[in-house]
Structure formats: structure tokens, C-alpha cells
Chain A
């Protein structure tokens, strides 16, 4: 066991994947000698060389596009997009090609690639560096979408993403890159994809979140426990395909659901969860579903971003509304 930060866990998973499978390549902007702007690929260039750790020109669409060509040829490219706002340039390649290569060739060509990008705010970054675009990717058939929330989960989920036979979008919560450290066993064990992780059991209320918001969700659960409200905290982890069964089973027990999402509210991923619960567990509900989300505004610049971000007190307020609903 070694204590690792989330970004170090990503780095460890990349090393492990590259050690165990020579088809795994890393490509992106500044991923080579610089080790990535967040240092996620630190040390890879020296260890595996320029054949497997490839600095690309500044061309995000083609970073995705080249990965598709490599993947169709049997490589396992892991592409890094430097910042969230630049990932939008890849969406054409992801929607029109990566996601559907298997389907449109009826399995003849496939696309086992991973597109990694840091996501989310709260890091006092310049504009276009703090967005939460997960819902846009989650809407694409054929895509697997993962957002880890701790070093150990980042390690296990990234390994599974790289080993997956289909394209995976892996959004890493920038705010958590160095926020905490955790024991990570670098044993090559992957965590299952398409499975929600119940981080804390509870009988009164189900609190669902993903990515960086897990911190606030767990903190809120701690505080609610002091008021004798037992909160079940679920880390969605893989947003698509969604493990709806775990959420439905939890809501069936608790009867109350609060969803936390950093992204803007409208058409956010929380809406999908609410809809699933609305059709799959509505008779269990004792109160309306609450969503604690970012606002339907642009992601603000750093001086006011704290007002945008869902925080513990907003989650507590939603939880109390749910608990006192009559």
C-alpha cells in the first residue's frame, strides 16, 4: 500500500496498464517530457519512450481522431485532453466515429480507446478550465463515461477503462487531483465499470453524487448523522452505462433522494437519475426528489465560482427539506 493523491493514482494506473500491455499508448498535449500539465503522465516518457508516450500538436479533434485510427488497428490509446473546455473539440470524433465504429461495421472494427480529461471547478483556474461536461458525453450511445472520486477508485476504474473493449470517457475531478491522499494498492486490480459504489449505508435518505462532489456529499452525510439522519451515500462512478438498480434499491429502502451535481441543472445527469427513480421507485418516495446543482449560467470566473459550486450547506438544506416534507 502506498499513499497516493488522485493524480498520482492515475499515473500509477497508466504505468501499470503500460507495463502489462504493450498496446497501451499515451498521447496528448505536453504528456511527454513535461509529464502533462497536471503531471498525470509524469515519468512515462522516460520509462516507455517516445514511441508509446506521444506529444501531439495542439489539435484536440485529431488527438481523438488519431486515437480512433490507432484503436481500430488494435492499439489501446489513452488520450489526454488538457482541460475540460478543450474536450468539446473532440465531441464530433467521439459522437460520429469512436462511439459507433463497432455498430456501423457490425463488430468488424472496434474502438478500445480512453479519452481522459480533467473536469470541474473550484481550482481558481482561468475560463474554459472548470466545466462539468459529463451530461454531453453521457448522451452518446456506445460511450462509457466514468468519473472517479478518490485515488483508489481512480486507479481501479482507469485500469478497467483501459482494458475495456469500447471507448471510455474518463473525467478526472481536477479539484481532487491533490486534495487528499489515500492508500492505493498498486496491484493491477480494476474496479468494475457500470457499477455504482455505495460509500456509506443509511436508512433515511439516499444521497447520490459523482466526481468531486462526493467530498461534499460525504461531509454532508457526516453532519446529518449528528442530527440522527442516516444517509446512504452512493458514488455513481460510471455514469454510463448507469447502474440504476443500485440507486433504485436504495431509494426503495430510504424513500428519499437528493442528487448532487456540479454541472448546470437543466438536462444534467441528475435529471436522468431523477427520471429513473420517478419511473422505477415512485411509490417508494416519501418526498419530492431534490437536486442540488450548479446554476444554468456560464461557469463563473474564479472570483465568484464559489457561489456557483454546490456546497455542504446547500446539500444540508435540500436534505432537511426532504426529511421534513409532509
Chain B
């Protein structure tokens, strides 16, 4: 079955070489806006590189890289308004950074500190969802809350291709469709769910067509083209805000990295396949476009890399200089008010730990 037969075609604005092959959306006519997107992609990748380096040297926990998938993350978040709510899976660092989660908070989270989820910026955004796809129903609840209060806000829920096999996602798409709530589901289809390739997740030719069974629109976009990702999600969000209900968007990208720092992808996939996909990766693509359209050059590139590197290094230092939470904090947030048994356990644990923590 071809894409045309099922009514879903993969849209793009820039091709792999950064040449315009589709209609430029309104926002992309402003070079400053494209430069913002480019900066966010580069910052995300710089963070990623540092996070892996810290993990490899024992200074960060297991880390899920977003290498190659930055355009999905940044594209989605850049389509949102600050008052919208993001419900990410665990690979959307770019989206979180765009939304105002700080580099230090990301380091704290991946370094094993719950305070990394106490975002100073987007206070209503959800923390990462690790049990795959189980946050999709939360997004329906958040969106229902917006509709019940009559607010012009929307929820954006991002999950991977593997998550589309989960019942939670099927239930959430279905419920969102019935209730016509303002939510946009974004599939970061990076072709691999750890070692299991996309074609072993579903016999459906596209994941976007799963929208059809829920009675909602679905679209597939080139997930390495940040312009089209943002444009299509902006349209879906506008629709949501008009009360027209949810949309499912499949952004097709590729996981250029291992699943996490605990994974070794060479066990199950060819280097040659990975190399082929490097030719389509998003950062070089947008850079090519910006360069060919006269908005970018080597001097600017060097300055940006320097700026991002400084920001990431500074945040890493702040993270590393942050002492762990006191042991008592593990007991203090289980309930609003700690019950007697927890107070007793806290006292015993604190005593064991030497009183100070």
C-alpha cells in the first residue's frame, strides 16, 4: 500500500540537503525565527554530547541521547505557546530546553536528582515519562481540564514509535477523539525501540494512520525538518484551540545514537544503515539552508558553538557542585503530610545516615 492510497504523505519543507521543496510557512520567512530554531538544535546537541561524556566518566546516570532527533523536539516545542503543557517521553531534551527547563535541571534529572523535575520555568509541564506511552492518557486529562475551564490552551504529548504499540496510546487517542479535547500527539518515530525496528512494531504502513481508527486527523512529516515539524504542529494546535479536537503527528526521524548509554546498538543494527541516515540529520540540514540563504557563515557557527558550549559547561559545573538532597527529602514528598509511620522511618533512616542527612 502506498502512502497515497492511505491518504497520508510525508510532508517536508527542506530536503536532506537543506533545499526548499515545500511551501515555506509564515514563521519561517523571518530569518531570526529560523536562527532561534537552529540555536536550539545546536544547544540540544551540545547538551547531549556533554551528558554522554559525564555518564562515561561516572558523573551522570544512564542517559537517553536525542542525537539526530532534535528537530522533532525543538519543532514541537517551538509550535507551542508558553501556556500550553508539554508531556514528554524521555528523549525530548530539546523540547524541554525550548520550554524553559534549564540545562542544570536536565543534568540534575539525569544525574538522579528529583529536583531536576521541579522546573522553575514551565511549572505545569510534566516530567519525563519513562514507562513507555503511559503518559498519553495524562495528556487527555490535561486537555480535558483546559476545555472544562474554557481556556485556549492545548497539551502536547510526545512519545516514540514503540509507544504506538501500547494500549495506553490507543486508549488515549480514542478518548481524545471522542471528547474532542485540545491535545496534539507527536510520535518521535526514530525507527528503533531499543533493538526492535519500526516494522516489527506495527504492520501499518504509517503510524500516523492510527489516527484514523480514533476518528482524528493524522499526518506524517519529515522529522528531520524542523520547519515542517513546527508548521504542522502549529496547525494542529490552532485546530485544537478552535475546539476542533486532537491530532496525531508522526515525525519520521532516525536514532543516530544508542538507545541509552547502557545500550550497544552495534549488536542489532548495521553501521552502514546509521551512516546513511547521517546524510539526512537535522542540524546540518537547517545549517545548509541558512548558509545558502545568506544568513549563516563559519564565524557565526563558531560563535554559536562557543556560546552553547559555555552554557552547557557552566550548567554542568553547577550541577556537579550541587550537593545531593538531604535523605529526609525522600520521605517529605510521599504525601502532603507525612503519616506517623513515615515520620518514624525518616527518623530511623536519618539516624543511620549519621544524623546530618
Contacts and interface: CB of A to CB of B under 8 A. Distances in A.
Contact of B127 (A59, A71, A104, A241): A104
A102 B333 contact: yes
Question: Which one of A56, A70, A74, A194 has the greatest number of beta carbons of chain B within 10 Å?
Answer: A70
Given A62-B168, A69-B137, A106 B148 contact: no
Question: Which one of B126, B136, B334, B335 has the greatest number of beta carbons of chain A within 10 Å?
Answer: B335
Contacts of A104: 114, 117, 127
Interface stretch (A90-98, A170-178, A309-317): A90-98
A267 interface: no
8 shortest A-B CB distances, which residue pairs? Answer: A69-B141, A65-B137, A241-B339, A73-B145, A66-B141, A69-B138, A62-B171, A62-B137
Interface of A: 25, 51, 56-57, 59, 61-62, 64-75, 77, 92-93, 96-97, 102-110, 141-142, 144, 165-166, 194, 241-245
Contact of B175 (A56, A72, A166): A56
A107 B333 contact: yes
Nearest to A51: B148
B140 A66 contact: yes
Contact of A245 (B136, B333, B340): B340
B31 interface: no
Interface in B209-249: none
B174 interface: yes
Contacts of A61: 137, 167-168, 171
B322 interface: no
A194 B171 contact: no
Interface string B134-177: 11111111111110100000010000000000011001101100
B124 interface: yes
B258 interface: no
Contact of A244 (B127, B141, B174, B341): B341
Contacts of B167: 61
B127 to A, nearest CB: 6
Contacts of B127: 104-105, 109
B126 to A, nearest CB: 7
Contacts of B168: 61-62, 65
B90 interface: no
A107 B123 CA distance: 11
A92 B134 contact: yes
Contact of A69 (B119, B142, B336, B341): B142
A241 B329 CA distance: 18
B115 interface: yes
B84 to A, nearest CB: 12
B105 to A, nearest CB: 11
Nearest to A22: B148
B178 A70 contact: no
B341 A66 contact: no
Given A25-B148, A103-B334, A166-B336, 10 more contacts: A59-B174, A65-B134, A65-B172, A67-B141, A68-B141, A69-B137, A102-B335, A105-B118, A106-B117, A108-B119
Contacts of B135: 65, 97
Nearest to B120: A108
B336 A96 contact: no
A283 to B, nearest CB: 19
Given A104-B127, A106-B118, A62 B175 contact: yes
30 contacts: A61-B137, A62-B172, A62-B175, A65-B141, A65-B172, A66-B141, A69-B143, A70-B142, A71-B141, A72-B126, A72-B138, A72-B141, A75-B145, A92-B134, A96-B134, A97-B134, A103-B330, A104-B114, A104-B127, A106-B114, A106-B115, A106-B329, A107-B333, A108-B123, A109-B126, A165-B336, A166-B335, A166-B336, A243-B340, A244-B341
B174 A241 contact: no
Nearest to A244: B341
Contacts of A244: 340-341
A163 to B, nearest CB: 11
A115 B155 CA distance: 24
Contacts of B126: 72, 109
B318 to A, nearest CB: 18
Interface string B166-202: 0110011011001000000000000000000000000
B335 A107 contact: no
B118 A108 contact: yes
Given A62-B140, A66-B144, A69-B142, A106 B333 contact: yes
B334 A66 contact: no
A130 B143 CA distance: 35
Contacts of B6: none
Contacts of B137: 61-62, 64-66, 68-69, 93
B131 interface: yes
Interface in B94-136: 114-115, 117-119, 123-124, 126-127, 131, 134-136
B342 interface: yes
Interface in B50-79: none
Contacts of B134: 65, 92-93, 96-97
Contacts of B140: 62, 65-66, 69
Contacts of B115: 106
Contacts of B114: 103-106
A279 to B, nearest CB: 12
Contact of B336 (A68, A97, A106, A110): A110
Interface in B301-357: 329-330, 333-336, 339-342
A96 B136 CA distance: 13
Contacts of B175: 56-57, 59, 62, 66
Contacts of B340: 194, 241, 243-245
B348 to A, nearest CB: 13
